[in-house]
């Protein structure tokens, strides 16, 4: 049996578990998927441990039933998001002892490990270190230094930081659900892997993942990630606006948004009316589609303005030939691409997670934009295996387990080790 990777997307509205393997053509086959309503997460962060644990168990059990007898889901790659996520640029230097030997992955690993030792603000820790360009003996713009000769190896890094508590809570929820966390991965980076082509990343593109609680932004240029940001608004805030504006129940507001919602009021007919049943024999409420679209457009304009600010702030706004790719559950809103193009002046398309998926996936609605992050987490798992030089092989214990080696001294090693000790003390 080929190597298996599990991705666990702990979102604000849903928790989804994906079990995937690579086929002989290098494409990802999703063997199983489980989904549950997320009850303990707000704006991408865990707000109730027990409810989140229950939701994780439901999603994982559903995925487990589809592969019953073949595998046991044990080790997972988990996504992280939330307003606490920040990014910064830093340059690292590694002086080599042997000038006549080729630069190897070991040298690059030493450079990356040094970045994990940077001193952060109290309560913050480094989640991910992403190398950008390398510099060898002052020769700049090198993308892959392996095999080259030189004494002084430098690199520009994109470093992503987050609150220690937020990551500890995610780890605790996963462990309480009887699972083990292999890697914690930033969600927009996972989504980008699932929906963007290498050509788009090279040309310059903005990935916008509109989730339930947050909107994640990742900007790529020349194949390198240049800027990341998390905006603390998503689909849920639009639902709340509809609920308040139309004075209806939240459940009814969500159904209205999904069935009749539009990001452009001008595209809606004035004479179209939706009838909402009244409470306990009260008169039904009539809502015009135009009024509904006006409420949605007002909030969506605010979200797109914030995204546009991040694009301008990155310094790459004039270099993004690939435009904007919108994914996530919120991207399913009608006329959303037109609103993005109107506000930003950039070409926009909807991103579907089909870029690396095999065509023979039998699971219903798997190509929906709402599953971009989950499928991306599986892809990142395989990417980690390849970086560490692990070849796909049979899992001798019949367990779903990755073999990636984590960076020594990394955020994940230190924090999860500490959290494991705390849990033992509690017990």
Q: Which domains does the chain have, with CATH numbers?
A: 1-84+163-195+355-427 (3.30.420.40), 86-162 (3.30.1490.110), 197-353 (3.30.420.40)
Among the residue ranges 201-205, 223-227, 267-271, the one predicted with the least confidence is 267-271
Query: Angle CA(415)–CA(182)–CA(188) in degrees, nearest 5?
Result: 90
Chain-wide mean pLDDT for the chain?
Answer: 87
**CA within 13 Å, CB half, 183:** 28
How much is the pLDDT for 361?
A: 65
The predicted-structure confidence for 182-212, as pLDDT tens digits, reads as follows: 989 999 999 999 999 999 999 999 999 999 9
Q: What is the DSSP secondary-structure string of 157-191?
A: EEEEEEEHHHHHHHHHHHHHTT-EEEEEEEHHHHH
For the stretch 281-331, pLDDT in tens is: 788 888 999 999 999 999 999 999 999 999 999 999 999 999 999 999 999
Q: Would you say residue 10 has pLDDT above 90?
A: yes
Total Cβ atoms within 10 A of residue 367: 14
Tens digits of residue pLDDT in 375-388: 999 999 998 887 76
Q: What is the C-alpha separation between 286 and 289, in angstroms, rounded?
A: 10
pTM recorded for the entire structure: 0.86
Contacts of 130 (CB under 8 A, 6+ apart): 157, 158, 159, 160, 189, 225
- pLDDT tens digits along 51-98: 999 999 999 999 998 886 668 889 999 999 888 898 899 999 988 888
Residue 1 pLDDT > 70: no
Give Cβ neighbours of residue 6 (< 8 Å, ≥ 6 apart): 17, 18, 19, 20, 63, 73, 75, 76, 77, 378, 381, 400
């Amino acid at each position: 049996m080929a190597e298996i990777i599990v991705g666990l997307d702990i979102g604000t509205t849903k928790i989804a578990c994906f079990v995937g393997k690579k086929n002989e053509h290098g494409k990802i086959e999703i063997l199983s998927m489980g989904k549950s309503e997320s009850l303990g997460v707000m704006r991408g962060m865990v707000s109730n441990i027990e409810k989140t644990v229950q939701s994780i168990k439901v999603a994982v059990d559903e995925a487990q039933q589809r592969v019953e007898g073949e595998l046991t889901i044990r080790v997972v790659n988990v996504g992280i998001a939330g307003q606490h996520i920040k990014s910064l640029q830093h340059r690292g230097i590694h002086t080599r002892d042997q000038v006549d030997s080729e630069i190897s992955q070991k040298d690059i690993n030493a450079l990356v490990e040094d970045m994990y030792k940077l001193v952060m603000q109290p309560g913050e820790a480094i989640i991910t270190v992403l190398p950008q360009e390398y510099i060898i003996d002052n020769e700049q713009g090198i993308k892959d230094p392996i095999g080259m000769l030189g004494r002084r190896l430098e690199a520009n890094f994109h470093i992503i930081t987050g609150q220690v508590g937020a990551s500890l809570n995610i780890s605790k929820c996963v462990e309480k659900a009887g699972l083990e966390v292999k890697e914690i991965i930033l969600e927009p980076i996972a989504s980008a892997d699932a929906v963007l082509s290498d050509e788009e990343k090279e040309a310059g593109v903005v990935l916008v993942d509109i989730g339930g609680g947050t909107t994640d932004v990742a900007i790529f240029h020349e194949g390198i990630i240049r800027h990341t940001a998390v905006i603390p608004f998503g689909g849920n805030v639009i639902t709340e606006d509809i609920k308040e504006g139309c004075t209806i129940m939240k459940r009814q507001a969500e159904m209205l948004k999904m069935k009749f919602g539009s990001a452009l009021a001008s595209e809606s007919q004035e004479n179209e009316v939706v009838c909402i049943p009244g409470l306990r024999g009260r008169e039904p409420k009539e809502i015009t589609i135009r009024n509904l679209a006006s409420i949605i457009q007002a909030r969506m304009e605010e979200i797109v303005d914030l995204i546009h600010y991040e694009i301008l702030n990155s310094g790459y706004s004039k270099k993004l030939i690939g435009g904007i790719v919108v994914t996530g559950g919120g991207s399913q809103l009608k006329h959303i691409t037109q609103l993005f193009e109107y506000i930003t002046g950039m070409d926009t398309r909807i991103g579907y997670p089909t870029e690396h998926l095999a065509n023979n996936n039998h699971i219903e609605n798997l190509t929906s934009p709402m599953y971009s992050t989950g499928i991306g987490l599986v892809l990142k798992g395989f990417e980690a295996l390849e970086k560490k030089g692990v070849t796909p092989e049979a899992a001798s214990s019949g367990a779903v387990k990755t073999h990636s080696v984590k960076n020594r001294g990394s955020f994940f090693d230190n924090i999860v080790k500490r959290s494991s000790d705390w849990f033992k003390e509690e017990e």
